[in-house]
Amino acid sequence: MAKTNIHLLNGPNLNLLGSREPKIYGTTSLEEIENSCQQWAARNGVALTFRQTNSEGTLIEHIHMADAQANALIINPAAYSHSSVALFDALSAVSLPKIELHLSNPHTREAFRHRSYASPAVNGIICGFGPDGYILALTAALGLTGA
């Protein structure tokens, strides 16, 4: 049986984690989050592709690639959640299980963050658990694959 492959995509400004607005996003860097995710993947026999981009077009291309290469997709679309119809279209076009992920809880923040274009196109949403949300999302994604 082929190894389960999960693609975990991160949107704009997440490369600044650890120093960007630590009261909201914490002090854990994206590199530290990736390391813990890769450790989880190794323990669970999962191949993990972990990417970050500040470019909307590149993020959409990564979604398209995931459809061809992965068994599940996790996306932290960051600010594109609230602004990108193209993101919704890309997520809607792919057939694999998808999870939307946010470090903070957008529903407790500014009103413009309460709506996510990504949400109607995914199987589930994990938000408000900080870096631990990444492991929750990986566990949920693995469950959605049936592995």
Task: Spot the catalytic one: 7, 62, 102, 134.
Answer: 102
Q: Name residue 114's amino acid.
A: H
Told to judge if 80 belongs to the known catalytic residues of this protein, a careful annotator would answer: no
Q: Say which of 25, 80, 117, 134 is annotated catalytic.
A: 25
- List, in sequence order, every residue forming a beta bridge with 6; answer none if it has no partner: 48, 72
User: From CA 120, how far away is CA 65, in angstroms rounded?
Assistant: 20
Q: Is 82 a catalytic residue?
A: no
Active site residues: 25, 102
